[in-house]
Chains A and B, each alone.
Chain A
Amino acid sequence: MKILLALLALLTPVAAHAADGVSLVSEVFVEHTETTPEGRSVTTRAEPEMVVPGDNLVFVLSYRNDGAEPATDLVLTNPVPDSVAFSGTTDQSAVVSVDGGKTWGALNALTVVGTDGANRPAEAADVTHIRWVLDQPVPSGSAGELSFRGVVK
């Protein structure tokens, strides 16, 4: 059924752009958690062609600087797709937007206008975009990976 591999790093993303600067690869995995007969919780990840509402998705962004010079001021932005509810990121350096990318901040610092017309604290599902602002230049030949989670609405 499912092939067990040890490490995420065994996946080699295919670069989407020519090797003359920064390239960016997006991957999406669907997670299914099952409990083994021994009572262990096993989570499997697969690249889905099809998902159903309620599926847990993991979005992985891989960047690589193939240019000869360091890339500075690297900012990676991922709009949360329609039909996906953002459910968080373990990456503390991320900022999010709940207004279509106009303003940015930590989720707990943002508010949205509720159905009653009053401002309320933003929730994960309000997030429209997630962004990483790298404060260090990315040296030539260097790469990194960022991720966030969502649920199919």
Chain B
Amino acid sequence: MGQLALIAVAAAIPVSTAHAAGTPAGTDITNTATATYAGPDGSELSVDSNAVTMRVGELLDVSVSSADTGDVGALPGATNQVLKFTLTNGGNGPEAFALTVDANAGGDDFNPAVTSVILDTNGNGAYDAGVDTVYSAGANDPLLQPDTALTVFILSSIPAGATNAQRGQVDLLAAATTGIGAPGTSFAGKGEGGGDAVVGATGADSNDDGIYRVNAASVALTKAASVTDPFGGSGPVPGGVITYTLTATVSGSGTVNNVAVADPIPAGTTYRPGSLTLEGTTLTDSADADAGRFTGSAVQVGLGSVGAGTSRTITFQVEID
């Protein structure tokens, strides 16, 4: 085979072809040229060149990218928390990829405990417990056709000791099972269609991080009382009215769901009907569509979901017996 090298200034016109995966591995490229000319008698003659044939080898390229829109919120001690990744075969042949997770790299606040890696076998982009396939390294390395993608989920437990706003990252690494290496590294005869496999620009492996962020919102409840006695003072005397103000404040980050406040009426007092308010709005005493009620012995108010950094104020009145 003729081989030569030259110090060259290659002045080719830039090409604007957009080939993602490119010509399929195993394709033959054949070049033949033709010459026509006038022979001695003026007749047109035609001659073909030899045919040069090259086989397209398999280019090994892969990309892994986090498919979450940002940090994934999780509570301390939570299990089966889902991170989502997209695995794409950027090569030009079918290729299986080995997946490795690392939750113990530095640069974060805690180490999530990875419990499983899941392949989105039904292709709906969402984790379906018991439906999608649990990944087992070497046993079911996902085989991807050129230019196709697969969603991969990582399920982790969050340490119980993780505190609000702490972040824990998990790295997903995918490597072509044919081989990895510096771009241009060649694996003779290992390519699709019997040609060589050649490592592409990605090095035939790729990784990305998904991040859990602890959203440990907490609720604090404060209670204040003010007394108005029948004589215009503030003495706790029979006939005096006590106004209780309950303030529920959510701190941290995220949202606390199903916040409910219940407060028994103190002994020696009687609830004043119709005195229950939430955020300044009167609530009826009966159990109905509004958020509050008087049970006969306590007031109950359902606050629903309360976002961190906000508070809700409840008031009610009792009369001193």
Contacts and interface: CB of A to CB of B under 8 A. Distances in A.
Interface string A116-153: 00000001110000000000001000000000010111
Given A24-B35, A53-B59, A88 B13 contact: yes
Given A52-B200, A72-B37, A3 B4 contact: yes
A66 B5 CA distance: 30
Interface string B191-222: 00001101010000000000000000000000
Contacts of B39: 21, 67, 69, 71
A56 B13 CA distance: 12
B36 interface: yes
A88 B12 CA distance: 6
A129 to B, nearest CB: 10
A75 B4 CA distance: 29
A3 B3 CA distance: 7
B82 to A, nearest CB: 35
B23 A75 contact: no
Contacts of A32: 184
Contact of A83 (B6, B29, B184): B29
B33 A78 contact: yes
A40 to B, nearest CB: 7
Contacts, number: 192
Given A76-B34, A85-B17, A48 B54 contact: yes
Given A11-B4, A26-B49, A151-B15, A49 B38 contact: no
B5 A45 contact: yes
A17 B30 CA distance: 18
Interface in B22-70: 22-23, 27, 29-40, 44-45, 47-52, 54-59
A123 B16 contact: yes
A63 to B, nearest CB: 6
B289 interface: no
A152 B17 contact: no
B35 A69 contact: no
Contacts of B7: 40-43
A59 B291 CA distance: 80
B149 interface: no
A149 B15 CA distance: 10
Interface string A1-12: 011111110110
B35 A125 contact: no
B134 interface: no
A44 interface: yes
Nearest to B39: A21
B32 A26 contact: yes
Contacts of A138: 37
A43 B10 contact: yes
B21 interface: yes
A50 B55 contact: yes
Closest 10 CB pairs of A and B: A53-B22, A88-B13, A26-B49, A78-B33, A5-B4, A24-B49, A16-B50, A83-B23, A44-B5, A74-B37
Given A47-B1, A53-B56, A85-B17, 16 more contacts: A2-B5, A5-B3, A5-B5, A7-B4, A24-B47, A25-B50, A28-B54, A33-B10, A41-B7, A45-B3, A49-B1, A52-B92, A53-B22, A83-B23, A83-B29, A88-B13
18 contacts: A5-B4, A8-B4, A26-B33, A28-B31, A33-B10, A40-B7, A41-B7, A42-B7, A46-B1, A47-B3, A52-B92, A67-B39, A73-B37, A73-B38, A73-B44, A74-B37, A85-B19, A153-B19
